[in-house]
């Protein structure tokens, strides 16, 4: 039997090193647990970075994919399929999109953002306003919107006309948006920045500012969408209607899929035949996965469960009064635990050794984005172990 260390050596000999050296070679999963090739079990509190909404091996997803794989995996977008149409209709319904709205399917979040950039350019304007701390992807168009200098600088010059304003700063946003602005692109919660939530009125103010300037408001729901925050989409907590949203991650439950929803007939008419496309986007297998995920979230009441479980996690950590823990932020099952020192990497290492997978998203914060099916008693096992991880990190 090939060991974890042997697999990792083969990894470094064959895989381009853009991800660095991973610590584990995972073999299989079941529910909210995964096992590595050495047979060690871990509670998965990252969920493939908010992707595995139904956990691992959920019967509904396995059944849907197995059935569809026996019928048709791919047909190209020279044609369509009943599943693609049904999934588009469901997304329009759960997003609350008005009559005349439309869906474009791609394969990833970055592809959804690329479509949104082209949508914005079709307004005839070229300026795009994004936020400091934003992460919108690493393809060249999406990278121009992403803020982190270490991601951007090796590939400059990037798409021109993009500016970044402080997140959750209404005055800065108002000053940045003018008659040259095609779109403002914002996350309802900044996941990669450390699960940073804005004030409740920020998205509402952004909607008013963009409407007044004739610019689009595009909401990046790649990490926050599909029930992650306790609503189908993060923007719905603010009660606004955006001009477009981008989706990926949880929609496929692990299958690669991305989407852009355009809201209303005027915005939906901006991209016309031949102006954008994809070979694999919305293929029958991905569409079957998306429908299974949406059906299961609805049937199992996972929106309410995500809200309840996330609130339970935050309350349990607060009650534990763990030294060096300064708080829990986020919404639903997208949460960050913050610390008073930059010890997150050491905590994640200690947690992994003990059988928990967490993400040190920032030096002073760990991110949790577990499957939406996770039970509170499973979260409690992590909270009970957390003081030991902090103590070990401080040693």
Residues tagged active-site: 135, 220, 249
Cα angle 248, 257, 54 (rounded to 5 degrees) comes to: 70
135 assigned binding-site residue: yes
Q: Give the number of C-alpha atoms closer than 13 A to the C-alpha of residue 365, restricted to the C-beta side.
A: 19
180 assigned binding-site residue: no
Cβ 368 vs Cβ 50: under 8 Å: no
What sign for the dihedral angle of Cα 111, 112, 114, 118? positive
What sign for the dihedral angle of Cα 369, 372, 378, 383? positive
142 assigned binding-site residue: no
138 assigned binding-site residue: yes
Q: Please, is 388 exposed, middle or buried when counting C-beta atoms within 10 Å of its C-beta (0-12, 13-18, 19+)? A: middle
211 assigned binding-site residue: no
Q: Please, is 104 exposed, middle or buried when counting C-beta atoms within 10 Å of its C-beta (0-12, 13-18, 19+)? A: buried
Q: How far apart are CA 253 and CA 259, in angstroms?
A: 14
278 assigned binding-site residue: yes
CB atoms within 10 A of CB 127: 20
Length of the chain: 395
246 assigned binding-site residue: no
223 assigned binding-site residue: yes
Pick out the residues of the known binding site for pyridoxal 5'-phosphate: 109-110, 135, 220-223, 279
Binding residues for N(2)-acetyl-L-ornithine: 138, 278
Residue stretches of the annotated binding site: 109-110, 135, 138, 220-223, 278-279
């Amino acid at each position: 039997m090939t060991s974890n260390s042997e697999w990792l050596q083969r990894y470094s000999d064959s895989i381009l090193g853009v991800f660095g050296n991973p610590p584990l070679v995972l073999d299989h999963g079941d529910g909210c647990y995964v096992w590595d090739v050495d047979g060690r079990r871990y509670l998965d509190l990252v969920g493939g970075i908010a992707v595995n909404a139904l956990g691992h091996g959920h019967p509904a997803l396995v059944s849907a994919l197995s059935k569809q794989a026996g019928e048709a995996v791919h047909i190209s977008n020279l044609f369509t399929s009943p599943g693609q149409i049904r999934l588009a209709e469901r997304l329009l319904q759960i997003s609350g999109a008005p009559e005349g709205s439309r869906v474009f399917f791609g394969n990833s979040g970055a592809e959804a953002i690329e479509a949104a950039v082209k949508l914005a350019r079709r307004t005839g304007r070229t300026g795009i306003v994004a936020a400091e701390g934003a992460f919108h992807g690493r393809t060249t168009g999406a990278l121009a919107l992403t803020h982190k200098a270490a991601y951007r600088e090796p590939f400059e010059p990037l798409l021109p006309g993009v500016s970044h304003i402080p997140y959750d700063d209404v005055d800065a946003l108002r000053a940045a948006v003018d008659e040259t602005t095609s779109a403002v692109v914002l996350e309802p919660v900044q996941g990669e920045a450390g699960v940073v939530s804005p004030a409740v009125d920020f998205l509402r103010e952004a909607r008013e500012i963009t409407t007044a300037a004739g610019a689009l408001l595009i909401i990046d729901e790649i990490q926050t969408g599909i029930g992650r925050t306790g609503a189908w989409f993060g923007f719905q907590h603010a009660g606004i209607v955006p001009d477009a949203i981008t989706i990926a991650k949880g929609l496929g439950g692990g299958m690669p899929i991305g989407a852009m929803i355009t809201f209303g007939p005027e915005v939906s008419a901006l991209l016309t035949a031949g102006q954008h496309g994809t070979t694999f986007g919305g293929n029958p297998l991905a569409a079957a996965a998306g429908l299974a995920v949406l059906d299961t979230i609805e049937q199992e009441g996972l929106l309410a469960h995500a809200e309840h479980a996330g609130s339970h996690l935050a309350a349990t950590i607060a009650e534990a009064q763990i030294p060096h823990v300064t708080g829990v932020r986020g919404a639903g099952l997208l949460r960050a635990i913050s610390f008073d020192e930059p010890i997150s990497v050491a905590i994640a290492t200690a947690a992994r050794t003990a059988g928990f997978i967490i993400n040190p998203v920032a030096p002073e914060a760990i991110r949790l984005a577990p499957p939406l099916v996770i039970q509170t008693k499973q979260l409690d096992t992590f909270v009970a172990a957390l003081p030991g991880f902090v103590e070990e990190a401080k040693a």
